[in-house]
Amino acid sequence: MSLTVVGSIAFDSVRTPFGERDRMLGGAAVHFALAASFFTEVRPVGPVGGDFGPDEFAVLESRGIATNDIEVIEGGQSFFWRGRYEYDLNVAHTEDTQLGVFGDFEPKLSDAAKAADVVFLANIQPDLQRQVRGQCSEARFSALDSMNLWIETTRDSLLAAISDVDCVIINDAEIRQLTGESNLARGARTIMSHGPRAVVAKQGEYGAALFTENSFFALPGYPLEDVRDPTGAGDSFAGGFLGYIDSHPGATDDACLRRAMGYGTVLASFNVEEFGTERVTRLTREEIEGRFEELVSMTRFDPIPVPSE
């Protein structure tokens, strides 16, 4: 059991209708790793600048996350993102992105990171995703995320990266953009024709859907009356999803993937309740299991015999 994730390790400045925070610990690999840390040993890979200090490492290490594949570039600046959300929390408006040390990133994985059983390639340039995937040659399950930028600018590389993974986890709008199919089921099937055997369509507040060759499964978002900061929801989902999969060696059948969808949904729901990593860093496994059970009951309905027509 071990899970390697490559992606941004960052500082985020976020403003929502419910408050704001400056230079919080953030980034896809951070949100992913924190979520996955409740299930397995997780190892984020990526560069940070000298501004990433003991306090940031301490947050990760307090959750048992292996940090020795985080490369500190002294004199460099960590990836930085500034964004805001309007009243409609479904749409992030980016105000500033500074790649910093991420601009020259060349993934060099430790032997431990290369030996991962499960790999997640968070949303970074697809050629970097392929390099990391290639180094983790023994992984039994791999997944990637992406975004509109790479679909538009590096489509062929992205398709090559997709052909190397078992599962694609992206927003449903990105499925449509990538495949040119307005119908989501057709779009998912098109992606699977490139190699992956599973596609997870992230649907924001509506939840997520799982497409496999012979099965469809969908979960609503966990209903929350207070969502304060959606940043990192998708990566928290992926962390819960792949963390659970890694914790069940050998099993990636539909039943396992569906439970993984449940844990992804639960981790995403906790993530958005507060800003940045605030909520997940004091989360407990008991809280996760409690919300998972709730989610089971919120989606359960049973047929009974009905009067004939």
Question: Judged by CB under 8 A, which of 140, 186, 194, 197 binds a second copy?
Answer: 186
Q: How far is the CB of 45 from a second copy (least distance, A)?
A: 23
Q: What is the largest CA-CA distance in the chain?
A: 75
For residue 213, state whether it binds a second copy (rule: CB under 8 A): no
Q: How far is the CB of 258 from a second copy (least distance, A)?
A: 4
Report how far residue 118's alpha carbon sits from residue 113's, in angstroms, rounded to the nearest whole number. Answer: 10
DSSP string, 182-197: SSHHHHHHHHHTTS-S
Please name the residues in contact with 100: beta carbons below 8 A apart, sequence gap of 6 or more: 49, 76, 77, 78, 79, 80
Report H helices in the chain.
28-36, 54-62, 111-114, 126-135, 148-153, 155-163, 172-179, 184-192, 233-246, 254-271, 285-298
Q: How many angstroms separate the Cα of 216 from the Cα of each of 172, 200, 257?
A: 15, 10, 11
DSSP letter (8 states) at residue 101: G
Which residues pair with residue 86 across a beta bridge? none
Report how far residue 44's alpha carbon sits from residue 54's, in angstroms, rounded to the nearest whole number. Answer: 16
For residue 61, state whether it binds a second copy (rule: CB under 8 A): no
For residue 19, state whether it binds a second copy (rule: CB under 8 A): no
| CA-closest candidate to residue 235, choices 187, 306, 142, 169 | 169
Question: Judged by CB under 8 A, which of 58, 91, 149, 224 binds a second copy?
Answer: 224
Question: Judged by CB under 8 A, which of 53, 134, 223, 290 binds a second copy?
Answer: 223
Q: How far is the CB of 299 from a second copy (least distance, A)?
A: 5
Contact track, a second copy, 248-277, x by CB under 8 A: x------x--xx-xx---------------
Stretch that binds a second copy, among 91-99, 106-114, 158-166, 241-249 (CB under 8 A): 241-249
Question: Judged by CB under 8 A, which of 61, 95, 253, 293 binds a second copy?
Answer: 293
Q: How far is the CB of 155 from a second copy (least distance, A)?
A: 20
Binding site for a second copy (CB under 8 A): 17, 38-39, 87-89, 182-186, 189, 203, 205-207, 209, 211, 215-220, 223-227, 244, 247-248, 255, 258-259, 261-262, 285, 289, 292-293, 296, 298-304, 306-309
